[in-house]
Structure 1
């Protein structure tokens, strides 16, 4: 399969590439290994698809949100989660479904915070929940047999030193385990699912 991995250089993205290394991978990101893309820019997404052409699957492991308490979370700070984590992922589907071959797939990324809230995580939880709802609804009308799923990772072991203080009482999981959920989405047959790796 020819698979586009957006966010391929990240902690989870690199493990996704390892899990799917037997496929023809196109590694994308802000500093793309094969192609550059800024998922907050519709034009950048369009140019990426035009450059790479048809693929069998699109995986997104990119997108961020600001961590701030509700009393400190401003509309401006919240905008990062909307533009990157929420709208950026959805635009990969809206602008890319014509580039995905019949019977192909999209796999987006949500996250544990929408199900198990943490302090300062409301913006990320909002974006994660929006992506999950989009995937579930979009699955019933994706064209040409294209499937769509999302993966909801827990905090990963590789990020624990940097982010663990936010996730009090959580048990981190290895990024390699999270990557298997993306493999399941791409190589499996399900659609409309949110694979929780908690």
Structure 2
């Protein structure tokens, strides 16, 4: 017997953070799959600021029904753990974690049945480097959320997170990740295509 193959479907995909190094790769890869990609960021049109819940809500109202949402945005402070303040941790969670979770909340109301949401964490949830405690906390929270929230997602919606190592296309960060193997655009692209076009849910897809 031969495995059942899903019929290829053109989907409308919203990529938030599409002007960044990860978002650009994800958006281009999904367009190559034949999908209609709506690229959003703080500097694009449509625009969105993940630190502003009203901005997230307005974006979803503007773009209309969707089949998939990908989030690749979110910055965090890098400081020695002895120098991190409560405000630093709050900033990390406000954008990297709460911003992405807010997207999930709105996406559940706007996605078509059997759609998907893909978030982005990073290697720092599982591998330590200096000055990355706030980033590690933010990434770990996202991954733990996905594991549980996926079991309650409505209408067959899938929920995953892509967790890449340091990127080849960001050489200015390589020295900060000693001994790490930078991952290529092709590897990152495959992870997002898997999350959007595949059948995984509740997974952290490690790159």
TM-score in terms of structure 1 length: 0.96
Displacement of 1:165 after TM fit?
Answer: 2.1
Task: Work out which of the residue numbers 157, 179, 182 in structure 1 matches 2:192.
Answer: 182
Displacement of 1:95 after TM fit?
Answer: 2.0
**What is aligned with 1:29?**
41
SS of match in other structure, 1:120: coil
- Count of aligned pairs between the two proteins: 195
- Map 1:10-29 onto structure 2 (within 5 A): 10-21=20-31, 22-29=34-41
Report the Cα distance in structure 2 between the residues aligned to 1:195 and 1:96, rounded to whole angstroms. 20
Task: Work out which of the residue numbers 151, 157, 165 in structure 2 matches 1:140.
Answer: 151
Q: Unpaired segments of 5 or more residues in structure 1?
A: none
- Map 1:43-192 onto structure 2 (within 5 A): 43-160=54-171, 162-192=172-202
Report the Cα distance in structure 2 between the residues aligned to 1:179 and 1:84, rounded to whole angstroms. 23
> Any idea what the Cα deviations from partners look like across 1:77-127, whole Å, max 9, x if unmatched?
222210111000000011221100000000000110110111100101100
Report the Cα distance in structure 2 between the residues aligned to 1:71 and 1:143, rounded to whole angstroms. 42
Report the Cα distance in structure 1 between the residues aligned to 2:151 and 2:52, rounded to whole angstroms. 27
Q: Unpaired segments of 5 or more residues in structure 2?
A: 1-10
Q: Is the 8 A contact 1:153 1:196 kept in 2?
A: yes
Q: Is the 8 A contact 2:107 2:117 kept in 1?
A: no
Report the Cα distance in structure 1 between the residues aligned to 2:176 and 2:138, rounded to whole angstroms. 18
Report the Cα distance in structure 1 between the residues aligned to 2:185 and 2:137, rounded to whole angstroms. 23
- Cα RMSD, aligned residues only: 0.9
TM-score in terms of structure 2 length: 0.92
Report the Cα distance in structure 1 between the residues aligned to 2:124 and 2:141, rounded to whole angstroms. 12
Q: Is the 8 A contact 1:16 1:176 kept in 2?
A: no
SS of match in other structure, 1:4: strand
Report the Cα distance in structure 2 between the residues aligned to 1:96 and 1:175, rounded to whole angstroms. 26
**What is aligned with 1:9?**
19
Compare CA radii of gyration and give the structure with the larger one: 2
SS of match in other structure, 2:192: helix
SS of match in other structure, 2:117: strand
Displacement of 1:166 after TM fit?
Answer: 1.4
**What is aligned with 1:194?**
204
